[in-house]
Amino acid sequence: MDTLTALTQRVSVPRLTDPGPSDDQLRRLLEAAIRAPDHGMLRPWRFIVLRGEERQRLADIMEWRLLKRQPDADQGARDNIRGKALRAPVIIVAVAEVTENHKVPVWEQVLAVGAAVQNIMIAAHAMDLGAMWRTGDLANDESVKARLGFADKDQVVGFVYLGTPAAPSKSLPDETPDVFLRELPRG
Ligand SMILES: Cc1cc2nc3c(=O)[nH]c(=O)nc-3n(C[C@H](O)[C@H](O)[C@H](O)COP(=O)(O)O)c2cc1C
């Protein structure tokens, strides 16, 4: 698949199944990620790759957080939240480990990691893998960041779910860039 086709035809794939990306494909996804633009070459991106049983550790964090907020959550709710970590064969947790008080502001560092995640999305599509970028309030929880090994200053940019599409891909939205164009105000 050529680059422009991958860029213009990519869609998110919420329902993913086995097989997940191979070791070689994972390597290529991460190689694509670290070619994102990065002001100051700060290299703010960090990736936690969770495969197979490793996903249970993310499920543990999700369940622990649920019980912290809702101590009386029943088994159904606990199973439901754990299932979120198991809905794809592989999850890449992408985190911006930011440098504060730097001439490159934090928002630019977080954007660089967003660009890295988008590179993963495009590379996955180009390799006929399905991918879905998710965050949710989990991504902004200080205690979750700590359990992932990061400080509160850092930002979880995405949980990138990867696998084989479980259903035919949705069709592309019928849009053109024109509606997003604006004129520079005069004066
Ligand atoms: C930073 C970020 C966080 C997102 N978080 C979620 C999420 O938690 N849950 C979700 O259903 N979609 C989330 N999305 C949106 C999906 O990844 C996806 O882009 C959207 O469903 C539109 O589908 P498309 O990519 O095929 O156009 C997020 C997107 C971005 C950029």
Asked if 69 contacts 143 with a C-beta cutoff of 8 angstroms, the reply is no
pLDDT by residue (tens digit) across 93-135?
A: 999 999 999 999 999 999 999 999 999 999 999 999 999 999 9
Asked if 156 contacts 148 with a C-beta cutoff of 8 angstroms, the reply is yes
Q: What is the DSSP letter of 86?
A: T
Asked if 124 contacts 45 with a C-beta cutoff of 8 angstroms, the reply is no
Domain residue ranges in the chain: 11-50+88-167
Outline where the chain has alpha helix (H): 3-9, 23-33, 55-69, 75-84, 106-126, 142-148
Atom of ligand 1 at shortest range from CA of 170: 26
Atom of ligand 1 at shortest range from CA of 173: 27
Domain 11-50+88-167 listed as CATH 3.40.109.10: yes
**HSE of 90, CA atoms in CB hemisphere, 13 A:** 24
Distance of CA 14 from the midpoint of ligand 1 (Å): 9
pLDDT by residue (tens digit) across 12-35?
A: 999 999 999 999 999 999 999 999
Confidence of residue 36 (pLDDT cuts 50, 70, 90): very high
pLDDT by residue (tens digit) across 132-170?
A: 999 998 999 999 999 999 999 999 999 999 999 999 999
